[in-house]
Each structure stands twice: as structure tokens, then as C-alpha cells.
Structure 1
């Protein structure tokens, strides 16, 4: 194995690039190379190539970040045609440098690289000598990667015996790799495990023609790692049914424009269909690129992609496909780039290179929505965070803590006069109030809750306006909380979810929590003042379901308003308002929002009147009741950090 991965790349001045591209097209992607098994010979003399980006960085991915990238490199065969004295490592090495340099970049966080086979055009020992030198760049930097044999690297199936491929890229190459799991007895089928997003991911790299023994081995590896999602790589799985000269979007659905051919169908039947852990397959071999989604025996989607650019300028020039996994957004964003060309000065790129720097067609740049938790639930269910005792959440300064677990069976109604206790022990209990004419089931107990909510329950409000209807809750006339002005700061937290039938006209501006007493009664006036609105209201607006905290501070006559971004329905949201005695900030899921005014805002105005949960009054009368679910509510008389919120781990 060569260890000079940082040395300059070299090439001969043999057959022209256009010539071998033309001959390769005549041969076809499926033409198998005739491969002998002689020992690796001496490296021929090559002329230096000076296209290089320079110093290589270090391999340093973040295994815990919820965003990470899988780099995929398809057929690089036209860079390695040693029998024709035509070799150029430079493009591939430039891609390798990009992968290394972007492993520690938070925007990429490249954690693994998978090569999809056809490393060489001819399977010749001289070609593999140069492949060895290129991959030494990965080895010397400790990069996690997999590789597999394509039909131009080997002939026959995985029972073929020794080859130059196996001598160069066989299991012995990975003996120092932390991600290498092992291989089957032939050495042509390998398994790798990388760490990302705080979990283990299994990559199977299978030969271009896998025998039954190979499939049996692959099945046994999956069975031995029953909780790991599996990415399956091989050279030939799905094919492109459309012509190279027709853009994918002209040939049908760009999300389903690939098909299973004979080998791919066998792989589906023998390995993929019955292993729900396999959620993504990647292959080269065919062009143009394409993709399809197929449901497995468990009824779950398997995403199956071809990526191959060997028919493009410079044999693809070491093009890479980047699969950006985002477990926060439940998305895989895919882009295709050419680091070799991107490393060149833009003004020095020829016209064809400029076209290939980034490939942006619908089968090259796209996004895959995937609910990772749901997709992996059959084999790796996420442990539900257990409920926490109320006493554990009573931090210093807690004035009120209302939660709705262990009080009523889910679906049963709360009735007027019923009490919900204040678990802080401060005496701020809530009493149920029903607007006349409201249905009996307008307020019910629910076991639905935010995944990080201490109490595993909520109240389901069915309220609105036009006419006003619903059931809400109120503190008592003499509750201590009514007189509190929070001059030294405060934190108000709650959890909320809007249903699909939430309507801007009927439900907009309803409050999760509000304080009775109008602005005019409190003597407030001036900019943005509405004399009839309550002195404090934590509401959901009518425009995009944006959370709004509108309050009249002690130090001014007009309100301070904090605005959040739009909240989607059927998702639980944690909302928090924090005032440090001077400024007020609104947080959504622990993140501060953009519209947090930088104006002095001391305390909360009080007329000594009750607080309402789910109710909102205007000019002293209830004008709307909340529509949706409300979980735990906690009010503290000091500012809390996000690490102290009810969602804290």
C-alpha cells in the first residue's frame, strides 16, 4: 500500500480524453473488463500535473451533531486506464481533500465517504497502483470510507478469487480503520459502521455481482446489528430507463425515474425487501442519474439512487454527491459538486469545466423529506422521555405551576367550577369557567403532550369567536399571583399545539395565558396602545399562527410586543418568555426569536385581577377562547436560562 497520498498527482500523455470517452461509450457501461491477477508491478514514469488546491486539513467530523454529510463518489474509471497509459489522479485527490477539509466544517460535517465501484477502466495492475496512491490520501488522514468492485474492476461474481482490485482495495486495506466491521470470506463484500447524530449507521458495500453466499453474509451482518439504519451500496442496483439526451423532468417524475433491473431485482428480493433497516441504496454503473422510491415488506419507503457522471466532461472529474442529513428538519438534502473544478480559479476554468462545477438538475440536487424517528421506529424506537415529578420542576421563585396529568381520563370533559390545583403550593389554583351556550366537551383532558414536557398530559380547548364559545380557566379573585408585578424579572413557560382545523378568523388572537384588566383601566396610552386589550396576553396571532407576547410594563404607558415565527399545526411547541428586569425575550423551542424588542420593559402591570388560561377578554368581557392543546404552564419570579426551562435534560 502506498503512503504518499500527499504527493502531486501524475499522468501520461497517452490516449486523449476524448478518445477514451468515445471508446467507453461504444463499450457501454455494462461491458465487463477482462481482469488478470498478476502482482502489482512497478509504477511507470508520469509527467507531473500541477492542478492542486494545496495543503490538506485534518479529518475531524462531529459524531454528535444532528446534521451530518455522507459523501458519495461514483465511477472514476476514466481517470485510471493504465493499460492505455492514461492516468490522472488529480481530480479524485481533489475530491478527497474536499472531503477531509469539510469533515470539521459544521455546514457539511462529512462523516463518511462511499465509493460506488469502477475505480478503473481496465482493472489493470498499473491502474490499481495509481488508485492505491490516491486512496492513500484518505488512509493517512484516517478518513472513514468504503469501496466496492464494479464491472470494470473485476469480472464474474464475488466467487472469482484473487484480483488486482482485491490485492489493492480488499479487507487488508481497512485493518486500521475504526469504522471497518469485516468482510465476507471472499473479501469482496464489506461492512462499515460510522457514528453520526449520536447513533451508529451501518454501510454495506457489496460486490457488483453478489452470490447467495454474499447475500447470506449481508443478512447476517444486518441481523447482528438489529438497531442500526442501513445504507446499502453496490455498483448495479437501479437503472435509468430514459435516454441520456432527455432531461429527467421531460421523461416523467424526477422522483421516480429509475427502475430495478435483473441484478437490482435480485438484490431487492434477497436482501432489501425483508430488511426494514435498509432505507437508502446507492449505485453507479448506469447513466444518467436517477432515483426511485419503493415500499418494502414492512410498508416503509426505501430510497434508491443512481449517481454517475462518467459520461460528462473529464469522465466526471472525480465528481461527488453530498447527502446532507438533517435530523432536526427531518430532511436529506442532496447536492452534486466537483471539488477539482471548484478549486480552480473561476477565470481559469474552460467552458466545459464551468458547466460541471455544480450539477443542479432535478436528479442531481434535491431533498428527501424523511421522518427519521418514524422510519426507524420498527427497529430502533426512540425511548419516550418519562414524566417528571412536579416537585422536580419547582425551581426557586416558582409562583405557579399548572399541569394536567393524573386528574381526568383522556377525552372526559372538565365542568364549570372544577378546580385544577397550583402545584407550586402558592395558592394560585384554577377554576373552570364555561361561556354560556358552549358544548359540554369544549374542554377535555388529553394525554397528548410535548415530548420534553414534564407532565404527560394537556388540556384540549375547543373555542373560538363569532359567536364566542368555549371553556377556560381562571385564578381566584384573591389569588396571590393576581397582584404580582415581577419588577425584578420573570419567566413564563407553556406548551401548545394547534389542530388542523385552526382557523385564522375564528381562532386568531386567542390567548394561551392572559391577565384581566384593560389597558385603558390601567391608564395606558400612546404608541401601539389598544385601550380595550388586556394588560398581559400570550397569544397566537391570526397571521401564520405566530406566538405573540404583548404586555404593558411598569415603566411605560404603551406596550412591548415580542413576536415569534409561524407555528405549524399538529406539532407541539415549547414557548417561554424571559424578562431579566430590563428586557423581554421570547423563545420558541429554546431558541430566541428575531422580533425581541430592545426597549426597556420592567415588570408587568397589574390591576389585581385574575389570570386566565385559554381565555381572552376585550374591554372587560370575554371575546374569544383558545382552540388547541395547552400543556404545563410555569410562572417564575426571576429570569431563567434555557438550561433551566421545563424542556431541560
Structure 2
């Protein structure tokens, strides 16, 4: 710690040149630097090198701990910190850096001289990357709380410094506590910076801020909260316990806390009064070579993967020519131990549900999702099935699933091989982007052969359509977790019949149907088609699809070739060979299984939601659930 008083992401692009500035130069007003002149971009990333994307689901929070040894009387040297600021400005777009938070102890003695130098140094980031600063025990009289009155620190880093920042929300009347509202990942986040010692008045103010922003997740920053042992296991300090009991544990919005003060770094997970996780992290490297050398952490939020990836490095050392780095520089440039480089799994929607519940989209009527060129559209709610049953109850054989386009492609439920009623049941489970809020749960399998299908009538138009101008076949599916049993090569949908009867000779077997979407033993999607025009069987293969999660699958053919998309993303293994149309034989289209040699051997295992077939190639933005 300080002088005592009581799986990550890959490296980002290397820096664009080092700053080689002496402390004397900085003290003389070092602002004519690459970092200072990077003001082509303001803090919102408009123009120049900014480029911050507030709507991207991936963004970073930069965390800067104790810099006090870089602002230490006549031995001060802010060069490493200037390089850190240059990095944040220059790399803001690539790393999508939303904000930087300093964790206190900006200076060693809190003097006018040290704060004046800090003032000039921090101008390199002012209005370029939004940030917050809070007082540590070396910035102020450590025996006082936020009611201490005027100090050199407050003169430099008080609310007046941030008044023009678009993220700045305000400060407590004393000026030592502040908050910012940051838009990142398509939502707003509250970043609360509390003084070294928050008084009762300060905590009352902080509570008012949280109450006024009652739907925002909160990241709490303060100088002291937890300390860590040499294994990186953190625990609340005496003051941290007071802050926890009086404020943090009562506010479910606080999910992440960041503090410096002590070393070594570490982390722990605490349970608040709502029974939810609060991640408490200590970050401090002043005990390292060159006073920590302006070392930062980047907390990479990934709202898609539901994770925060953390990395720790010194931009100053990374900017050096590798051949010229001293041994200590090479040793310290990037920290990769478990307390410095790690990932935190967070289901953000579930964690924030108590104060910011996700409102699912309402069901969309069939008329909203049957545009020009829609051949057939089936769904499993009351709009698609008259008298749809209670979730979990069997779907009776003979139940009719209406084609909501009115084109006459209704499907009828039948069970395979005298399967029991429970092989097909009603379900309210559905993909969040699915138009209908319902699905069917299939419980097919190989031993014994069992399953159920939804089969078109013998005269349905979809049975004979050739689609020579192109087509799009879409389906929502979900595989169970756990994924029990052998379900290899089960079918999702297909056209019945043998491709050999269509005159095809160039496939794996003439007994395959002319078109089918299946699941391999490795859970790869397989789309195999025998085109109407070519004697071929171009086959697309996906990656292993997940279990326990809904996905959207789209097979898109433009009349020349076929591309398969999963969740709006093109898969890799799409054959380039020509594929024009589908060699349909007039035999029924079916959902829930695939024939071989005109026999259904097993049914699908999992959930199937809305299915739509279009007679043209759709773009991802036009899928049943739109993708950018």
C-alpha cells in the first residue's frame, strides 16, 4: 500500500510516438505536445482522432490510479502521464474509450506547486476525453473530510474544471464529490467520484444523485475502499466498511467500485442488500518502477459477450523502441498476473433488472412481417394457431398452423412413428426479437425414433416453387441446455423427396432430400441444397451453435449462390459454386425433421419459433429480427 496511514483482450494498437519531456519543461508550461495538439477531436469524439461510438456494445473505461510520485516537489516528472494522456486521445477510436477516472492522490504533498504542474499536465486531456478526478489523502489533509474547505487541489480539480464537459453532472456543495453521466454501449452510466473521506453531508448528496438517476447503473470511484493481500484477495478497509454499510450496499445500482490507495492490486465480490454482486477492485502501481509510470487499466465492456475484460499497461513504456527499453521498463510495460489482467462475467440485463428492467418489444402483427415476396409465414401464437394451448401442454395431432400470408401453405401437426404426445408441446419461450412471443418445443430423438413434424398439405404451393430468382428462408431456433442424447443430423426444416428423383447425380447420396437445414453431431448447422438449374449440392456449414440460447438463422440465395447467416452474421463456410433455385418435387415442405430415403428417422430436439420463406434475397436489416 501507500505510505501507511491506517483472460482479457489483446493489445491495442501501439502508440504514435513517445513524448520525451523533462519535468522542468512541463513546469515551464508543456502544452505544445502531440497530446495537447490532438485537439482535432472534442471529448465526445467529434472530428479528428476522436471517433468514440456511444452506441457500440463494446467500449472501454480507462482507470488511472495514484500518480503522486510523478508530482513530488522538485523530483516531479509528469512525462509518463503525458504519454498516457496521449494514448487515450490518440487511441480513443480504436479502443472506443468512453471515459477516464482518476482514483486520487494526484500529487504527493498537495502543494500549490505540485497542483500547478498537475493542472498543466491534465490540460493535455481536457475536452478530448471526458474524465473525473477525486482527492486522495496526499492531495488534502488526510485527517479531514470533504468539509475541509479550500485547498490547492480544489482550486485545480474542483467543479469549475469540468463545467464545460458534456458528461459532467455536478458536484456536492463543498466541491469534493462529483458525478458524470456517460453514454456508452447504447445506454447511460453514472460515474460517481467520492472524496477521500466522505462526510455525512457528502453521502447524503451522493444518495440524492443516485436517487435522481434511479435507472442508471453506477460505477463508484473513491480513493480508499478495499485493500488486498499478496494473492490479490481484497477486503473492505475500516473506512471502506463504513462506506459499504452507509451507502454502497443499500444502492443496488452500484455494481462496480474502483479504488487506489493501497497496494498490491486485488479484487473481491460483495453481496449487497438486494443479494446482487458488487465487484470491488483496487488498482495502484505507485510501488512499481518509476512510480507506476502512468500505468492505466482499460476496462473493456462487451455487452454482447456479457463480460468486462481488464488489461493493465504503461503507454509510456509501450511507446519506447523495444530495442531501447531498459530491463525494468520491459518488465513493467504490461502486467499479466491474475490481479491485473482478467475478465468479469456480468449478465448486464439481469444485474440491472431491479432498477432498469429491459422492456421486451411487443409482439408484431403478421402484417408487419409479410412484405412483398413473402411466400409463407408460420408462427405459433394465437395469430398462427387457432386455440393455441397452455405452455407445456401437448400440441394435438392434426393441429393446423396457418400460413399467415394467405398463400395456402398451412401446416398440419403429425407425430412420427407413433411418438408420445409430449414430443411436441406449446411454449411461451421465444427470441427477444421474434415477432410472435411463442414457440413449439420439440423432443425428438433417435432411440427410439421419435419426433413430430409440421407438414404442408399435398397441394400446398410451397411444395413446388423453384425459387430460381432467389429466396430467403428464416427460422428462430434454440437448443436445450443441457443438450442430452444423440441428436446428430436432426432436421430443422426440409422439402421431402429424393434428389435422385429430380435427376441429380452429383451429391453425397441420391436419397437426400432436395433441400434441408440440419444440425450435425458437432452442433454445426448444415444447409444442403440441390439447385433447380445445376447438378450440384452446394452445402453451407456454420460454427457450433450455442445451447440454451435463441438464435436466428437465415439462408439467403440471390439466384447465383447461397449465404447462411446466424444472428445477422455471415458464416464462413458458404460455397462459392453456382446455386440457382431449389429442385423441389412437389412433395411436402416440413418443419421439425429431415427425410432420408423418404423416411423420417428422428425429430428435432429443441425449440422452433417463427419461420418465414421469401421469394427474394433479403438483406440482414430486412430479416424477421433486423440486423444492422
**TM beyond 0.5:** yes
- 1:22 corresponds in structure 2 to none
CA distance in 2: counterparts of 1:430 and 1:239, whole angstroms: 64
Q: Please give the alpha-carbon distance, in whole angstroms, between the structure 1 residues aligned to 2:80 and 2:553.
A: 50
How do residues 330-369 of structure 1 correspond to structure 2 at under 5 angstroms? 330-369=306-345
Tell me, which stretches of 5 or more residues in structure 2 are unaligned? 7-23, 46-51, 383-387
1:16-415 equivalences in 2 (<5 Å)? 28-31=2-5, 56=38, 58-59=41-42, 60=45, 61-82=52-73, 85-105=74-94, 108-139=95-126, 141-155=127-141, 156-242=144-230, 248=231, 257-406=233-382, 407-415=388-396
Task: Report the alpha carbon displacement of residue 44 of structure 1 after superposing the two structures with TM.
Answer: 10
Aligned partner of 2:453 among 464, 467, 472: 472
The SS at the match of 1:97 is helix
Q: Would you say 1:532 and 2:511 are equivalent positions? A: yes
Distance 1:381 1:149 in 2: 34
1:448 aligns with 2:452: no
Deviation, 1:312, is 0.5
CA distance in 2, matches of 1:175, 1:395: 50
Shift of 1:529: 1.5
Distance 1:45 1:62 in 2: 32
Q: 1:44 to 1:577 in 2, by over 3 A?
A: closer
Would you say 1:629 and 2:603 are equivalent positions? no
Q: How does 1:534-549 map to 2 (within 5 A)?
A: 534-543=513-522, 545-549=523-527
SS in 1 for 2:496: strand
Deviation at 1:363, TM superposition (A): 0.7
TM-aligned CA deviation for residue 50 of structure 1: 13
Q: What are the superposed Cα offsets for residues 36-74 of structure 1, whole Å, 9 maximum, x if unpaired?
A: xxxxxxx99958999976753634121111111100000
For 2:426, what is the secondary structure of its paired residue? strand
Q: What do residues 520-556 of structure 1 show as CA deviations (whole Å, max 9, x unaligned)? A: 3333223x5222221111112111x121111111233
In structure 1, distance between residues paired with 2:34 and 2:205 = 41
**Distance in 2, Cα, partners of 1:585 & 1:286:** 55
Question: Partners of 2:179 and 2:577 in 1: how far apart?
Answer: 58
Superposed counterparts of 1:572-591, under 5 Å: 572-591=550-569
1:461 matched residue in structure 2? 442
Residue 371 to residue 602, structure 1, CA distance change in 2 (3 Å): same
- Alignment-derived partner of residue 553 in structure 1: 531
* SS of match in other structure, 1:473: strand
Residue in 1 aligned with 2:16?
none
Q: CA deviation at 1:468?
A: 0.8
1:287–1:311 CA contact under 8 A, matched in 2: yes
Q: What is the Cα-based RMSD across aligned positions, in Å?
A: 1.9
State the shift of 1:502 in Å. Answer: 2.6
Q: Per the alignment, in what secondary structure is the counterpart of residue 425 of structure 2?
A: strand
Instruction: Give a deviation string over 1:300-332, Cα, whole Å, max 9, x none.
Output: 111100010000010001100000111111110
Q: Matched residues in 1 for 2:406 and 2:570: separation? A: 30
Contact preservation (8 Å) 1:31, 1:152: no
Q: How does 1:602-613 map to 2 (within 5 A)?
A: 602-613=580-591
Distance (Å, rounded) in 2 between the aligned partners of 1:51 and 1:590: 47
Is residue 2:488 matched to residue 1:508?
yes
Q: Does 2:463 align with 1:489?
A: no
Give the match's secondary structure for 2:350: helix
CA offsets, 1:112-131, max 9 Å, x none? 10000011111111111100
Match of 1:571 among 549, 559, 576: 549
Distance in 2 separating the partners of 1:368 and 1:51: 39
Q: Residues 203 and 247 of structure 2 are in contact (CA less than 8 Å); yes or no, is this contact kept in structure 1?
A: yes
Shift of 1:180: 1.2
Preserved contact between residue 29 and residue 120 of structure 2 (Cα < 8 Å): no
- The reply to whether residue 519 of structure 1 matches residue 499 of structure 2 is yes
Offset of residue 142 of structure 1: 3.8
Deviation, 1:80, is: 0.6
Give me the TM-score of the superposition, normalised by structure 2. Answer: 0.91
The whole-number CA distance in structure 2 between the counterparts of 1:170 and 1:490 is 62
Deviations 1:262-307 (A, max 9, x none): 0111111011101000000000011111000111111111110001
Kindly provide the CA deviation profile for residues 84-130 of structure 1, in whole angstroms up to 9, marking residues without a partner as x: x111111111111111112222xx11111000001111111111110
Matched, 1:427 2:401: no
